[in-house]
Amino acid sequence: MFRGIIIAGIMSVVMVFLPSAGRCLDVSNSEIMEELKALKARIDVLEEKLKEKDHEIERLKDEQVVHTAPESELDEKELKDGILDKISDLVSIGGLIEVGAAYQGIKNRDGTDEDDSDIDLTTVEIGVEVKVNEWVNAQTVFLYEDPFGNNPEDESDVTLDVGTVTIGNCDEFPFSLTAGKMYVPFGAILTHLPDDPLVEQPMTLLFGETSEKAVLLGYQQNGFNVSGYVFNGDMDEYGSDNTIGDFGFDITYTAPEGNILELLTGVSYMSDIAESDGLSDYITSDDHPIGPLEYIDDPVDGFAAYLHLGINEIFFDAEYMTALSEFDPTEIALGGDNGARPSVLNIETGYNWNWGKNLEIVLKYEGSHETGALGYPHRRYGIGFNQEIMDSLTGSVAYFRDRFHSDDAQGRDDRDILCSQISVEF
């Protein structure tokens, strides 16, 4: 269009001045045509230059878009990374998955034999901890368990295993307060081998593990950790009200990190050991000799002591738990009219052999006293191997040999257990 306008303008000027030019000057038509051709050539050159300028402007615009887009994308990535970093600082997620296979061969006192074997998804555990602020933490743990030998219809559902709120900051103040559903501190449950629910071990776990809705006051300073707690247990006394009447405490000392000798030692007390999960399940079960009990005669105190020692690659663990008095014969019987005063002992020692991937070799001895009614072995000997396969993945193999009490509730004489397990922790 621009070219046409210029040509039309030139032609108009020529037409206006052409007659007078013809009269004043002797100019031929051929000369006029040559002038027009020269003007046209100059116009063509100007148009090419205009096109080049237009292309240059478009190129500069494109370069501006190319240069600014990565900067915008970088800002968006930095924003996302900042949000994720903030979430990771506030929220911690962890879990445990265990798949196990086990075989047990049982010889009974009546001369019969039993064999069992199974593969189970024994444990799935997911925990979430939220750091609400510098002084408040919330923790939840969801748990699924499938004990060895269970029928499919007996598999447990996913349950809330732990749900607590903790108020405290040990870096600023030695005291803290925790409330909610928790495992109250009774003993340390020290073991290095596949444990319940894959196989019924260690006996300290069966005897002392106690899950309750409780309030716990803790003190932590210079390696000492002291905690006291109260809760309303499941086992009430005859004639008593359903009130918060159970309590306990735990005192632990841990040597500072960096010492040649690893040391953990402690003692625990509980006002009623019948509140532990293993004993309360027995007393209230349909398999109880006189049927499930809703009440107990008198509370029986419980006591625990534990020790862990480690030097270089060698470790030694020992733990002892006991009732401090006898149970009523209707609750846990020893025989005849006598009540039992059960106790358990677990000792494990071993060596960590790092041949590129750590191999933990463990030797075990367990014993129990007056636990025939509970079905615990009188003596247990074991050996196990825990092989690190890769980060967070461990494979385990263990063998246990059990000798039972003469008054074993199930009439067993001895038992051989062989088990293996793959565990993933994240």
343 within a domain of the structure (yes/no):
yes
What is the rounded distance in angstroms from the CA atom of residue 423 to the CA atom of residue 98?
A: 4
Mean pLDDT along residues 71-88: 68
- In-domain check, residue 149: no
**pLDDT in the model for residue 43:** 73
Mean pLDDT of the region 86-96: 88
In a domain, 280, yes or no: yes
Query: pLDDT class for 179, splitting at 50, 70, 90?
Result: very high
pLDDT of residue 95: 97
pTM score, whole prediction: 0.80
Phi, psi of 131 (to 5 degrees): -90, 95
Q: Is there a domain that residue 49 lies in?
A: no
Structural domain that includes position 182: 102-114+170-425
Q: Could you give the number of structural domains in the chain? A: 1
- Antiparallel, parallel or unpaired: β 295-296 and 236-237: parallel
- Supply angle C-alpha 285, 208, 181, rounded to 5: 85
In a domain, 188, yes or no: yes
**pLDDT, position 49:** 74
The answer to the question of residue 337 being in a domain is: yes
In a domain, 145, yes or no: no
Core vs surface per residue 389-403: b (16+ CB within 10 A) or e: eeeeebebebebebe
Structure confidence at residue 202 as a pLDDT band (50, 70, 90)? very high
Q: Is residue 269 part of a domain?
A: yes
Name the nearest CA neighbour of 281 among 206, 225, 216: 206
Task: Please give the pLDDT value at position 22.
Answer: 41
CATH for 388 = 2.40.160.10
351 band by pLDDT with thresholds 50, 70 and 90 = very high
